[in-house]
């Protein structure tokens, strides 16, 4: 495990996720009636729940707006959901003001250019394995898993490991 990533992970109080390409595989599915659906990975959902149980706050910031994401956030208990917001750094600034946190206390997982300003600014900015090349070049780290295929779980476990909570989180299920 990269010691720089673990060092950065120690200070994290808020983990923020993009949706399309991070919590999903990035594909957009539209039905004939115009509605859409997305598929989410249960491993990612469990990782997010483990983070929250360890005291790390969570948020979603997505450029797209869809009821499916609202439902998923509610199902997981993610308290901070921002959809239809293209300027993610502006959203993060608002959230940091509400939570009284600094950029160094934030971890962000993204995959494409709208995520890049946040990835470059936060304490732990990561990209999924199949992120755009330019985004991967500027991230602190890259997951081995692809978006929608366990990348968020890997990201969550890195933070838990850095803070000494991963073994306890796993042992809770023994």
Annotated binding residue 18: yes
Using a CB cutoff of 8 Å and minimum separation of 24, what contacts does 88-93 make?
88/18, 88/61, 88/63, 88/114, 88/115, 88/117, 88/118, 89/117, 89/118, 89/121, 91/61, 92/16, 92/61, 92/118, 92/121, 92/122
Structure-block tokens of residue 95:
């959230």
CB 85 within 8 A of CB 91: yes
Q: Is 112 annotated as a binding residue?
A: no
Annotation-wise, does 44 bind a ligand? no
Tokens of 127: 């990209």
DSSP lists the bridge partners of residue 142 as: 127
> Residue 20 and residue 26: Cα distance in Å, rounded?
5
Annotated binding site for substrate: 20
Annotated binding site for Mg(2+): 18, 111
Annotated binding site: 18, 20, 111
């Amino acid at each position: 495990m990269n010691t720089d990533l673990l060092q950065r992970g120690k200070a994290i109080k808020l983990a923020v996720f993009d949706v399309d390409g991070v919590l999903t595989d990035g594909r957009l599915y539209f039905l004939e009636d115009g509605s859409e659906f997305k598929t989410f990975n249960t491993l990612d959902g469990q990782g997010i729940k483990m983070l929250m149980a360890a005291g790390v706050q969570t948020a979603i910031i997505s450029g797209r707006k869809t009821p499916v994401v609202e439902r998923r956030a509610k199902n997981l208990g993610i308290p901070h959901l921002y959809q239809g917001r293209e300027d993610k750094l502006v959203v993060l600034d608002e959230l940091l003001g509400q939570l009284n946190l600094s950029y160094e206390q934030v971890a962000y997982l993204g995959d494409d250019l709208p995520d890049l300003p946040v990835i470059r600014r936060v304490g732990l900015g990561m990209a999924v394995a199949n992120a755009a090349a330019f985004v991967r070049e500027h991230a602190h780290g890259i997951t081995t898993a692809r978006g929608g295929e366990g990348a968020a779980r890997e990201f969550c476990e890195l933070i838990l490991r850095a803070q000494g909570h991963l073994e306890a989180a796993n042992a809770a299920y023994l």
